[in-house]
Amino acid sequence: MNAALEAVGLTKAYKGRRVLDAVKLTVEEGSVFGFLGPNGAGKTTTLRLATGLARPTSGTIRLLGQDVSAAGNALRAQLGFLPDVPAFYPWMTAQEFLHFSGDLFGLDRQVLRQRTRMLLDTAGLNGVTGRIGGYSRGMRQRLGIAQALINAPRLLLLDEPTSALDPIGRKDVLELINSLRGRTTVFFSTHILGDVERVCDSVAILDRGRVLTQAPIHELKARYGGHKILLEVTEGADGLASAIAQRPWAVSVARGDAASIEVTVSDVHRAQHEIPGLVSDLHAGLVRLEAGEMGLEEVFVALVGRPKA
**pLDDT of 108 strictly over 70:** yes
Half-sphere exposure at residue 284, Cβ-oriented, CA atoms within 13 angstroms: 22
Looking at the structure, do residues 212 and 232 belong to the same domain, yes or no?
no
Looking at per-residue confidence, does 3 or 298 come out higher? 3
Overall number of domains in the chain: 2
Percent of the chain topping pLDDT 90: 41
Give the pLDDT confidence score for residue 4 in this predicted structure.
92
Which amino acid type is present at position 37?
G
Phi-psi label, residue 257: left if phi above 0, alpha if psi -120 to 50, beta otherwise: beta
Domain of 271, CATH number, reads: 3.30.70.100
Looking at the structure, do residues 149 and 191 belong to the same domain, yes or no?
yes
Residue-wise pLDDT for 175-191, tens only, equals 888 888 888 899 999 88
Domain of 116, CATH number, reads: 3.40.50.300
**pLDDT of 287 strictly over 70:** yes
**pLDDT of 96 strictly over 90:** yes
At residue 226 the predicted structure's pLDDT band, cuts being 50, 70 and 90, is low
Give the pLDDT confidence score for residue 9 in this predicted structure.
94
309 is a domain residue: no
Residue 32: domain span: 3-216
For helices 167-179 and 137-148, the axis angle rounded to 10 degrees is: 10
Looking at the structure, do residues 62 and 188 belong to the same domain, yes or no?
yes
246 is a domain residue: yes
**Mean pLDDT value across residues 65-90:** 88
Looking at the structure, do residues 101 and 246 belong to the same domain, yes or no?
no
Which spans in 78-214 are helix H? 94-104, 109-122, 137-148, 167-179, 193-199
**pLDDT of 160 strictly over 80:** yes
Which amino acid type is present at position 30?
G
Looking at the structure, do residues 208 and 269 belong to the same domain, yes or no?
no
User: DSSP secondary-structure letter at 308?
Assistant: P
Predicted TM-score (pTM) of the model is: 0.77
How many other C-beta atoms can be found within 10 angstroms of the C-beta atom of residue 32? 24
Q: What is the edge-to-edge ordering of all strands in the sheet holding 3-14?
A: 17-28, 3-14, 58-63, 66-67
